[in-house]
Every structure is written in structure tokens, then in C-alpha cells.
Chains A and B, each alone.
Chain A
């Protein structure tokens, strides 16, 4: 607009620079406002995160003060005697997530490679939509389904919970892997095929290395969901504060314990549950941090 005014009649020469500086000032102002608004939005997330951590620590403090490190290594969870140890929920959380990832990652990558490399075109959409639908199912439905179809075979055990989690994280891993696999430039794959590579070799040596970062991201997203999943796990894990050698024994996870017991808790009991929440926070943080470090290492290796 300013430029149009500039080319206007000579008689208005006085007003031209004025209009121009007005317009530029307006641009500058919008820019500054935009900058501030986005900055505040970003800052808000940080403040929120800090506030959550702070309130968790404050809430958990009586338990931290009372049990100290013993909370992390104690296996006993006695509500009536007010002795709390988080080892069994920590074990349950890590173990169920680990088994779920061991099952879901190979299957998810397999589906994604099939969809992008091998699948006939007419099948691609139906399978893709099915996977996206799977991701949209609320967790309680998975819980109920697992309760009625898996527990008759496996009982309410650590393994049942792991299987349900594997099914739940599968769509995340698959959908993200498929999307990143689709970004591999056809020329790379064609070159590999051109020198006589098999599909397996193309997937292993071209597609996976090219999309490593995205795949790891998808896996981490799945892992994040597995670590925090509550409802589905509560239905099928057996909610028992114990660590058994067998995967076919009832167990519990951090989020399942909180969901079951928070409502009627008070005093040290409640603050122990809050400390469990804090621990889940810390575990998730470390898992994500480990993923970042792993990615950075991979990048460096690839660069060298």
C-alpha cells in the first residue's frame, strides 16, 4: 500500500513520507506484538512445566523426607502401616513398556516398510486408514477388550498388560515410520535397485538409515505413551504391589497405582502417590533425554 501511495501525484509530496513511515511503523508494531505473543506462549509452557514439577515436589515432600532413598528401593507398599516403597510400580512401568516396545517396534517397522515399499496401491489406503483408526481408539476400550479377550488366556498379569500396550503403541510407530519412509527420495531407492539390491537390502541400507531420526522419534512417542498409559493397564495388570520372577504374575505400574488409590489417600499415603507421579515424570524425562543423546550420536557417526 505504501508503494502505491508513493507513486501518487506530486502535489501530495508532503504526506508521502509520512504515510510511508506510518505504514512501516505499523509493520514494526505488528511484528513486535506477534513476537511477544509467540514468546509468551512458549514461555507459558515452560512456566506450566515448572509449576507442575514444583507442586509435585511440594506435594511429595512429606514422603521424600520420611522415606528418602528407601522409597526407590523398597518393595513393600503397606497402606495401613504407612510404609511405602516404589520399586514394584517402577519395575512394572519399565518392564511393561520394554516388552511392549520389543513386540511393537519390529511389527510396526515391518508394516511401515510393507506399506511404502511392497504394498499394492489399492491396499495401501485401507491398511493406512485401519492403522490411523487404531490410534484413535480410546485407551479404556483397549482395557475392556484386553480384559475380556486376553485375561482368560493370560490372567491379569504383567504379560497381558505388555501385550495391550504393544497393540496400543503399534499405530504410533507404524504411522510415523510410514510417513518418514515416504520422504525417502525415489532416486536413492531407484539407484539401489538399479545396482541390483533386493527390497530387504534397500530397506536396510537406504530407507532406514535415511529416516533414522524420524523412526526413533516415532518409537519414543510410542514409548512415552506406554510409560504413562493408565486405564488399559489398570484393567489387565492385576494391581498387585509385588515383583515376581514370572511375567505371568500380577504386577502394577506407577500410573495404575495412582489411578486406583489416589481418591481415598491422605497424609503420607497421598504424598507417596505424588512422589510416584514425580518419579514417572523423571523417568519420562530420562527416556526422552536418552533418546536425544542416542540421536545425536547417530548423527555424528553418520557425519563422519
Chain B
């Protein structure tokens, strides 16, 4: 009783899209929030049905669906098939996108800086403390780097973006693997915490010498300076839709694995190393069948007519073959009648 009431009391300013009775309700990841907000607006025009999506973070989204306070949960942390089965949930990927490192250094513009996984791990573990560190200079011999101290910005809440980010650092740095590891809320060795993708973006924008990681659309919206990266093949890549797509093409989506895929550090000369998918979680046997049917109608619409909007915001829509697979999964597993 206490837990329930405390959970439902949102302590923080959760970002909420239009709410009214009868809306489709969902909560979770902030990573796809700019897109879901856009979809919700367009869907309202098309169908008259609203979507109430609370961008409270992936950790919160999983909690919300387990507490059955929402019709769907959204998360960038893929759940294994076993964990889905244990809770009677179905998971599928909704859209893919890129996470970028954003910085706030005087005189440095987007694309001026290039950074690799090991250096990023060094910065986030606190070993690299200043922007004129030899490790950064070596990657950027031509850039003018000040002796400013680096302020590391990370998420303060449980986050799918953090999960994918630490998953990448874990793959590329044995030091990170030993000391920190992969987690939605790791024990950060250094830095300041901010809530949500928007919180990290805002803090980096406000702090000279800061570095953070956000979903690409947030970097665009807040006009932040992003860096290029060195990928698994050792090639320098810029965060662009083709680069995200190149990494996404490596995914082997399948119902047999419950659509479990992590897309960081994928091979390919053009692949962006910090690519991620974001997922939807729903109950196989929902208590409110009509609400679940409404939600599926929205997702069906989003797959059919939301691709253009996704690309406008630099997200990668799911390929048609995968969408067909997902619809099969809905038909087989979710009982809406």
C-alpha cells in the first residue's frame, strides 16, 4: 500500500504529453521521448486518440509496467526472454537511434573533436581530468584544447542511455569493465548527475568544460556540440543517420530471443559505435484488453506512418521485415480479445 502510493506519487517534474481520460498510457525511456511526443501529436490528429507518455527514464518505465500503472512500458534496456517470460511480458524494438558525446568547450564546434572509446572511458573513470590531456591531444593534433578541467556529466536516475553507454565503455576498456561494468545506474567514479536526457543536455549546456552523453535528438534540440568518434574498425565517424543505420544493420532481430539486441560497438567501417534500440514492454494477458488494443493500434500506426517523422529527428525506423515479425509477435502473444 505504502509502496504503491509512493510510486504513483511522481516526485519530479515528469514530462507528460497531453493527458485526458481514455488516452493510451505509457511511461519510460527519455531516449525516444522527442519522437514519441511528435508521434502522439500526429496520431491525435489522425485518429482523435491521445497518448499520455511520461518520460521518467527506462528504469522507471520497467517499474511502471511491473506495477501495472501504465498500459505499456518503454525502455532502452533490452530484457532477456527469461525475464520477459517471468513477468508475462512481451518486448519489441520500436525505433533505433544514436547516443552522442556532447561537450561544452570554448571555441570547439560540432565535429571539431574526435574521441575514441578508451579515451571516453578514461574521462568517465576520472583518469583524464583536463581537456589538454595527451590522450585527447593525440586524437586531435590540430584542435585548440584549453587547460580547462573536465566536468563529467552522467545520469542521476536509472537510465537506458546509461546502460548502452556503459555497455560500450565496458566493451572497449578492460579498466572500465573491472571497476564499473555495465549498469542502468552504475557507481560513477566521478562527475555530476542529472535527471533524464534533457537534464544531462541542460547541464552540459550550462557548464564550461563539461562532457555528457545524450540521445542525438537532444543534442540537436539544445544545439550542443557533439564529437565524432572512432569506431570498432578504427575509422573516424560522424553521428549521422547512415552511420546509425550501418550499426543497426548488424542487429539480428528475432522473436526467439525476445528481440534482445544491444547495438553498441558494432563492426562496419561506417558504424556509429553508440547506437541503441529502444523497446516497448506490454503484458501478454493484459487486465484491460481494450486499452492494450488501443496501444497496439497506435504502435501499428507508428510503424506504418511514423517512419518519416522518425527520420526527421534522426532516429532509425525499424526495417519492414522486422516490423512484419513484430506484428506476428503481437498476433501470437498479446491477448487483446
Contacts and interface: CB of A to CB of B under 8 A. Distances in A.
A260 B195 contact: yes
A234 interface: yes
A95 B186 CA distance: 25
B206 A147 contact: yes
A262 B6 contact: yes
A51 B324 CA distance: 53
Interface stretch (A66-74, A263-271, A293-301): A263-271
Contacts of A79: 158, 183, 185-187
A128 B119 CA distance: 55
B19 interface: no
A84 B81 CA distance: 30
Nearest to B195: A260
B98 interface: no
Given A79-B185, A80-B185, A240-B191, A260 B156 contact: yes
B192 A238 contact: yes
Given A77-B187, A80-B187, A264 B202 contact: no
24 contacts: A76-B187, A79-B183, A147-B202, A148-B206, A155-B192, A234-B12, A234-B195, A238-B193, A239-B156, A239-B192, A239-B193, A240-B191, A240-B192, A250-B192, A252-B193, A260-B157, A262-B6, A262-B11, A263-B11, A263-B56, A263-B59, A263-B63, A263-B157, A265-B63
Contacts of B62: 264
A2 to B, nearest CB: 51
Contacts of B60: 263-264
Given A238-B193, A239-B193, A260-B157, A156 B203 contact: yes
Interface string A44-58: 000000000001001
Interface string A195-210: 0000000000000000
B13 interface: yes
Given A239-B156, A264-B59, A81 B3 contact: no
Interface string A247-264: 000101000001111111
A88 interface: no
Interface string B156-198: 1110000000000000000000000101111110111111000
B108 to A, nearest CB: 17
B208 interface: yes
A261 B157 contact: yes
A89 interface: no
A162 B186 CA distance: 27
B187 A59 contact: no
Nearest to A59: B2
B contacts with A: majority SS: loop
Contacts of A263: 7, 10-12, 56-57, 59-60, 63, 157-158
Contacts of A78: 187
A140 interface: yes
B271 interface: no
A230 interface: yes
B130 to A, nearest CB: 15
A241 B63 CA distance: 23
Q: Enumerate the 4 nearest inter-chain pairs by beta-carbon distance, A residue then B residue, closest first.
A: A264-B59, A239-B193, A238-B192, A264-B158
B155 to A, nearest CB: 9
Contacts of A59: 2-3
B151 A155 contact: yes
Given A240-B190, A264-B57, 19 more contacts: A58-B2, A79-B186, A80-B181, A151-B206, A156-B192, A231-B12, A234-B156, A239-B194, A240-B192, A250-B191, A250-B192, A259-B12, A260-B156, A260-B193, A261-B156, A261-B158, A262-B7, A263-B10, A264-B157
A303 interface: no
A106 to B, nearest CB: 30
A50 to B, nearest CB: 14
A152 interface: yes
A270 to B, nearest CB: 7
Q: Looking at chain A, what size class is its interface with the partner chain?
A: 35 or more
Contacts of B208: 152
B207 interface: yes
A226 B12 CA distance: 18
A230 B188 contact: no
B207 A151 contact: yes
A77 B59 CA distance: 17
Interface string B132-172: 00000000000000000001000011100000000000000
Nearest to A257: B156
B192 A264 contact: no
Nearest to B191: A240
Nearest to B56: A263
A148 B56 CA distance: 23
A234 B203 CA distance: 12
B63 to A, nearest CB: 5
A77 B13 CA distance: 24
Contacts of A156: 192, 203, 207
A80 B186 contact: yes
Nearest to B182: A80
Nearest to A83: B187
A78 B208 CA distance: 28
Given A79-B183, A270-B3, A140 B13 contact: yes
Contacts of A259: 11-12
Interface string A74-110: 0011111100000000000000000000000000000
B212 to A, nearest CB: 12
Interface in B201-231: 202-203, 206-208
B185 A261 contact: yes
A55 B1 CA distance: 10
A78 B186 CA distance: 7
B192 A266 contact: no
Contacts of B183: 79-80
A264 B206 contact: no
